[in-house]
Chains A and B, each alone.
Chain A
Amino acid sequence: MADLTSHPDEIKVVSKRFGQGAAEIETYLKLDGYKAVQKALTMSSDDIINEVKASNLRGRGGAGFPTGMKWSFVPKDTTKAKYILVNGDESEPGTCKDRPILEHDPHAVIEGVIIAGLAVGAKIGFVYIRGEYRYLVDIMRKAIADAYAKGYLGKNIFGSGKDFDVRWHTGAGAYEVGEESALMESLEGKRGIPRIRPPFPAVVGLWGGPTVINNVETLASVPHIILMGGQKFADFGPPKNGGTRLFCLSGHINKPGVYELPLGYPLKKMIYDVGGGIPDGRKLKAVVPGGSSTFVLTAEEAEQMSMDFDSFGKRGEFLGSGGVVILDDQTCMVKFALRVMKFYQHESCGWCIPCREGTDWLKKTLTRFHNGGGLRKDIDNIKYLAQGILGRSFCPLGDAAAIPTISIVDKWRDEFEMHLEGRPCPFDPAAKITELPVVGAH
């Protein structure tokens, strides 16, 4: 069970029921549970979408796409079955925020699914939870069963004459399934190979039907938006970046944890105040702002950043998934780049060549480099290879591998140079050079 943490700057919206036993339906009902869906049942689908648009809620999975707009893309005049799909395949390194939501407030997710269904005219929702989160699958199964027992799901929900079903589903270990088209493939019982787009899922999704895919946190925010009103939620954050979100602080930080803070919160304050600063009197070197696929920030950059989508967008970068990873001055950036690439190489599905070959080649080059077999020309070659993947892969996994690599080479070139000519890693001189230097790029 994930430990809970707290800080006075937190604005608890999505996390307000954490630690209060709200996974039990009776407790949830005492904490304003299932009020939002009853309110939504009195609203038109356009009113629901407009309320969500007014909230400026943007996708909490990492892409930051406006949720209300995503819902509005679903065609109204279709005879095909429509679906809501909850993306609970949380696997982005550094990200552990959907876990406490599913653990402490599963009914909020169910409520969010029903409201999304009312907004777009879907009658079925699937909650897909990654295979490793079995205890959360069990919590969700019970929550769904309890909601059926109360008549909140199934036929004629809340006596409204409307039907809505929610199903639970689990993955079996695959980062790539977090990508929405791969997620649909997995839910259909296949390998999680991404689909070409267009058509987008909102038009052709699960089993060919229009499908809305939202992250767990996004949907868990929706009932609160319906109850408090979109504008009030929007006002927590800066313009166009509505509300609060869960930030997961990890790495070299005194008080790691999941904290709910308004969008636009200063990263410097997040590190030194909320997170209690860097342990052992060390200094900040770098910050991964939103999961391993985001551009890595230097300490100087990090201390000036505001944590909202547009502050990052202006720089051509991404706020990401809320996974804030702190690196102190004793961290070897070459080793860090290697560990990140090892992950993407492992998770690449092999469907498209730039990602499959590129991540493998980069992993081999970075391994050799970190082991003291680096050549000067490798430094540019690492960047060149990463740029060769960027924008050329079938799904965003390739970009996710390229982005941190490019930023690390650009910003910490000196650390690559320190590893040249067979020198041991300057941050871990005791580390054995396990492989003999190999001449050549591969």
Chain B
Amino acid sequence: MAPISEKLDQFFTEKMKEYPTKRGFLVPMLLYTQDELGYLSDGAIAHLARKTELTELEVRNVISYYSLLHTKPMGKYHVQVCTNISCMLRGGEEILDHCKSKLGIGHKQTTADGTFSLEEVECIGACSWAPAVQINYDFHENLTNEKIDKVLDQYRSKAKQ
């Protein structure tokens, strides 16, 4: 059985036809695979290597370049706190510290129950709405400690459903 769903695999097969080389769609394939599995497993890497006619090493070589790609499981909700200049000037570092103490984890760590992971990230393009946090792909902007508390609580109750 393929490590990814048939639907996703079919979608990749179709998109790959739009490129003159087999590896053209590799970077999006890695990201969408990660979205489905939570991380890039050994099986998924081997599968994508076969599909693109690359060696697993070549695929891993690509993975290690991109900061969104992970080869280890992350939390169900990956909390990405921007502390780059525009966010820093409006309290991004305080938001990061607050998330650390609230979640009880540090940079690139995951909570014991696997619900949350935390990462300090570089500019996410929310400069005019700083400070900002991205949880998975959702932007949360103009944050205060109180606002991020509410946001995290919402995700926590969503995880229990």
User: Which residues of A approach B to under 8 Å, CB–CB?
Assistant: 1-3, 5, 81, 90-96, 98-99, 130-135, 165, 167, 169-175, 186-192, 207, 248-252, 256-258, 288, 292, 323, 325-327, 331, 336, 339-340, 343, 346-347, 349
Within 8 A of A (CB), among B64-108: 64-69, 83-86, 88-90
Distance A347 CA – B138 CA, assembled complex (angstroms): 23
Partner-binding segment picked from B1-9, B125-133, B147-155: B125-133
Q: Nearest chain B CB to A402's CB is how many angstroms away? A: 16
B65 touches A174 (CB 8 A): yes
| 27 contacting pairs across A/B (C-beta < 8 A) | A2-B126, A91-B123, A92-B123, A93-B84, A96-B125, A98-B125, A130-B125, A131-B66, A133-B125, A135-B138, A135-B139, A169-B27, A170-B31, A171-B66, A172-B67, A173-B68, A174-B66, A174-B67, A175-B123, A187-B27, A189-B52, A191-B62, A191-B65, A250-B128, A251-B130, A325-B85, A325-B127
Is B26 touching A189 in the complex (CB atoms < 8 A)?
Answer: yes
A-contacting residues of B (Cβ < 8 Å)? Answer: 18-21, 23-28, 30-31, 52, 61-62, 64-69, 83-86, 88-90, 122-130, 134, 137-139, 141-142
A170-B31, A249-B128 are known contacts. Are A94 and B69 too (CB-CB below 8 A)? no
Q: How far, in whole Å, are A349 and B18 apart by their CA atoms in the complex?
A: 28
- Interchain CB contact (< 8 A) of B66 among A92, A169, A172, A187: A172
Number of A-B contacts (CB under 8 A): 152
Question: A1-B139, A189-B21, A343-B84 in contact; A256/B130 too (CB < 8 A)?
Answer: yes
Candidates A95, A96, A131, A191; contact of B31 at CB < 8 Å: A131
Q: Which residues of B contact A248 (CB under 8 A)?
A: 127-128
Contact A327 B27 (CB under 8 A): no
Q: How far is the CB of B135 from chain A (nearest CB, A)?
A: 12
Contact assessment for A132 and B89 in the assembled complex, using a CB-CB cutoff below 8 Å:
no
- Across-interface contacts of A96 in B (CB, < 8 A): 125-129
Which of the listed residues B18, B23, B28, B141 has the most CB atoms from chain A within 10 Å of its own CB? B28
